[in-house]
Amino acid sequence: MVGNPNTGKTTLINALAGSNLKVGNWPGTTVDRLAARLRLAGKEIELVDLPGTYGLIPTTPEEGLVARELLNNRPQTIINVVDAGNLERNLHLTLNLSEMGMPMLVALNLMDEAEAKGYSLDPQALERELGVPVAPLVASRDKGVTALLERLQQGVVPRPQVKYPPPIEKAVGELAQQIDHPSRRWLALALLSGEEVPLQLPEQVLQSAARLSKSLQDSGIDAYLEIENARFARAHELARAVITGSEKRLTLTDRIDKWVLHPLLGGPLFLLGMLLAFRFTFSFSSPWVDFIGALQEVLAGWVHAAHLPALLSSFLADGLIGGVGTVISFAPVLFFLYLALAFLETSGFLARAAFIADKFMLLAGLPGRAFIPLILGFGCNVPAVYSTRILNGRLDRLRVAMAVPFMTCSARLVVFTLFAAVFFPKQATWVVFGLYLLGMLIGLLTAWALGRAAGGGSSSGLMELPPYRMPTLRVVVKLAWARTRSFLQGAGGPILLAVLFVWMLLNLPPGASLQNSYYARAAELMQPLFATLGIHDWRLLGALIPGFVAKEVVVGTLAVSYLGSAPGAALGFVAGLAQIASALWQALLGSLDAIPALLGLPHMASAPAAGGDLRSALAGSLTQAGALSYLAFLLLYTPCVATLAAIKNEFGKFWAAFAMIYELLVAFGVAWGVYRLALLFGGG
């Protein structure tokens, strides 16, 4: 008895043998040998259950045992036990057996399971095709077992089943002639495939096999692939002839995937999903950003009311509260963005999004799995650079690493949100979304251009997609909170240092006005160059300098340089508390308002209004065209220090320097293009 694992062979031999079953071991192994002696029509026969196997070429000790036993202790008849519910896969072994030149019959077991899977089978069709007896049965219920016993002695050698390409047939014919064994055809096929067979064959046969294999190979024929290809094709054909009806039962995941992974709709649905994630982020974070902004104003007011020395008061109100506080006020943006991403991730949608993005990567000539580091880059560029290690080949890794810094990390999102709220209050979501797309486009173009130098792409192959699940609120909130906390903790140190450094530059030399500070002088040096981009204000240019340390510092620096120049108003304790309570109430109401805003299809939600004072201060410093060019420059310019350090670690100093200079040039060029384009459309 030969069959795939889990086809019910043991159950069948139990049903056939009853109390005559003997359990032992195969010689020299610990593999169970089940056998039974039966009397059938006056003759004594021995039934032997061979270990379950998918093929006759040994890849495991059990499989080796099956081929060895069949070739060396030729049975009178092979009972091929086939799982009716997994017919096609099982028939692959049947076809192998049919080439052994031995009488056989097929026990088509597990007919009940096939029915439960929605299949209708025609055993007679299989009998006709194979030319051997086929007995349908359910061994576990003794159904069909007697009929099998009755047909046991009717086993015949199957007629040839698999038609191989003519050059293979010719080689098989030539080799088989030299083999003195009833299984000569199977042996010839195995030898031509380059397999080792568990049988002692004359040296001359092995030499002929090697010669014929080489000759096939020289004429561009891969014998193994052709032989296996033909067997799978024949198994497929047989299964189609035997399965007369199948009721395909689609799971919910299958049904949703029909749309989500659709070749045409998949891409737009992926983009829509990401757009909705941004919309959710802005709708729900906006009221809480306002609340934190109000809290910050109250704290600054209390500091001013404390009548501290002017420098200390400025340090606390403008440096600490105005700088770091403004950055922290964007925690709600990050939290809601991470909440949306956690929902997409745990529901199984992000896997599909990555899958769809994978195809875009290939279109751009990138290795398929490049989407992993690139999508990681939306969170933080640093781990994204390290994750390029999942790609093979230095060139592929380098191409993707050079593209990663163009992906909008969450630090840049903070700045985008602020500017979008100030300059494009009605189209904030579209602007931010557009910047994400622009970054992706430039990144892909960079990788593509680098790839052109070396040529060739990679392939991705098959990806497992998890089933869709409804995420639990607890898990989603926990994930979002952990990521927000991680971002804030990671960003806190550098932000504090950078902002305090900038505050110092702003207040040095002592007694100098803001416009005469060291910081202003350094920023003014850049003015002539950036005037071509529509950016004239030295405070905006100055913020780009610490932005090189960490992009999230840009907003804090802007707050210090803009708000530091306008002294804040003092605020009484009770008045401050009343202001906080009022802001909290507004935030709660705003959250309730966000629900219909999210569901309302025609309008996109507005971005959160960053700290009120900074917002008004910024509004007068740029035109819309200038704001767009500033955002484009900020998106694309030199990666932050940590990302450069990661590139240096992975690819060396040269590539870190290349990334810095190349991205600076790209940023300037694209920002100039964006500015000119915006002017054309009246953004001046």
Partner 1 sequence: MLKELLALLELPQSRAQLRDGLQVDEETLEAMLLSLQRKGYVGLAYSQSPTCGTSCTYCSLKNLCPAAGAEPQESKVWRLSKKGEEQLKKDRR
CB nearer partner 1, residue 59 or residue 532 = 59
Q: Does 472 bind partner 1 (CB under 8 A)?
A: no
Q: Does 465 bind partner 1 (CB under 8 A)?
A: yes
Compute CA distances 483 → 331, 336, 382, 617, whole Å: 11, 11, 15, 31
Which of 138, 90, 52, 56 minimizes the C-alpha distance to 242? Answer: 90
State how far the Cα of 368 lies from the Cα of 345, in Å rounded to an integer.
20
Choose which of 213, 458, 557, 643 interacts with partner 1 (CB under 8 A): 458
Choose which of 15, 235, 605, 667 interacts with partner 1 (CB under 8 A): 235
Which of 481, 427, 386 minimizes the C-alpha distance to 603? Answer: 427
CB nearer partner 1, residue 385 or residue 635 = 385
CB nearer partner 1, residue 444 or residue 674 = 444
Backbone φ, ψ for residue 150 (5° rounding)? -65, -30
State how far the Cα of 604 lies from the Cα of 82, in Å rounded to an integer.
59
State how far the Cα of 578 lies from the Cα of 573, in Å rounded to an integer.
9
Q: Does 648 bind partner 1 (CB under 8 A)?
A: no
Residue 644 contacts by C-beta under 8 Å, 6 or more apart in sequence?
Answer: 638, 656, 659, 660
Residues 16-35 that bind partner 1 (CB under 8 A): none
Q: Does 478 bind partner 1 (CB under 8 A)?
A: no
Piece in contact with partner 1 (CB under 8 A), picked from 84-92, 121-129, 425-433, 573-581: 84-92
CB nearer partner 1, residue 229 or residue 427 = 229
Choose which of 318, 345, 552, 663 interacts with partner 1 (CB under 8 A): 345
Locus of tokens 């998918």: 54
CA dihedral 224, 229, 234, 235 (to 10 degrees): 90
Choose which of 10, 140, 460, 623 interacts with partner 1 (CB under 8 A): 460
Q: Does 86 bind partner 1 (CB under 8 A)?
A: yes
Q: Is 14 exposed, middle or buried (0-12, 13-18, 19+ CB in 10 A)?
A: middle
Q: Does 174 bind partner 1 (CB under 8 A)?
A: no
Q: Does 89 bind partner 1 (CB under 8 A)?
A: yes
Gyration radius (Cα) of the chain, Å: 36
Backbone φ, ψ for residue 78 (5° rounding)? -95, 130
Q: Minimum CB separation from partner 1 for residue 325, in Å?
A: 25
Q: Minimum CB separation from partner 1 for residue 635, in Å?
A: 21
Q: Is the dihedral of CA 528, 531, 536, 538 positive or negative?
A: negative
Q: Does 657 bind partner 1 (CB under 8 A)?
A: no
Q: Does 56 bind partner 1 (CB under 8 A)?
A: no
Piece in contact with partner 1 (CB under 8 A), picked from 156-164, 168-176, 202-210, 355-363: 355-363
Measured from the Cβ of residue 116, the count of other Cβ atoms closer than 10 Å reads 10
Q: Does 466 bind partner 1 (CB under 8 A)?
A: yes
| Helix locations, 620-652, DSSP H | 624-636, 641-651
Q: Within the chain, what is the greatest distance between any pair of CA atoms?
A: 118
Binding mask 90-109 toward partner 1 (x if CB under 8 A, else -) reads --x-----------------
Q: Does 454 bind partner 1 (CB under 8 A)?
A: no
Piece in contact with partner 1 (CB under 8 A), picked from 8-16, 96-104, 231-239, 419-427: 231-239
Residues 483-522 that bind partner 1 (CB under 8 A): 483, 486
CB nearer partner 1, residue 219 or residue 513 = 219
Asked if 496 contacts 488 with a C-beta cutoff of 8 angstroms, the reply is no
Measured from the Cβ of residue 464, the count of other Cβ atoms closer than 10 Å reads 6
Choose which of 375, 502, 555, 587 interacts with partner 1 (CB under 8 A): 375
Q: Minimum CB separation from partner 1 for residue 52, in Å?
A: 14
Choose which of 38, 167, 224, 448 interacts with partner 1 (CB under 8 A): 224
Size of site (CB under 8 A) for partner 1 = 57
CB nearer partner 1, residue 279 or residue 483 = 483
| Helix locations, 99-202, DSSP H | 111-116, 123-130, 145-151, 166-177, 184-192
Amino acid at 492: G
Q: Does 572 bind partner 1 (CB under 8 A)?
A: no
Q: Does 233 bind partner 1 (CB under 8 A)?
A: yes
Three-state DSSP at 498 gives helix
Q: Minimum CB separation from partner 1 for residue 339, in Å?
A: 12
Question: 135 has which bridge partners?
Answer: 107
CB nearer partner 1, residue 258 or residue 426 = 258
- Tell which phi-psi region holds residue 534, choosing left (phi > 0), alpha (psi between -120 and 50) or beta: left
Q: Is 285 exposed, middle or buried (0-12, 13-18, 19+ CB in 10 A)?
A: buried
Residues 248-277 that bind partner 1 (CB under 8 A): 254, 257, 261
CB nearer partner 1, residue 296 or residue 484 = 484
Q: Minimum CB separation from partner 1 for residue 387, in Å?
A: 5
Q: Does 481 bind partner 1 (CB under 8 A)?
A: no
> Angle of helix 223-242 relative to helix 123-130, nearest 10 degrees?
140
Give the footprint of partner 1 on this chain (CB under 8 A).
54, 59, 86, 88-89, 92, 194, 220, 222, 224-225, 228-229, 232-233, 235-236, 254, 257, 261, 341-342, 345, 350-351, 354-355, 358-359, 362, 368-369, 372, 375-376, 379, 382-383, 386-387, 389-392, 458-466, 479, 482-483, 486
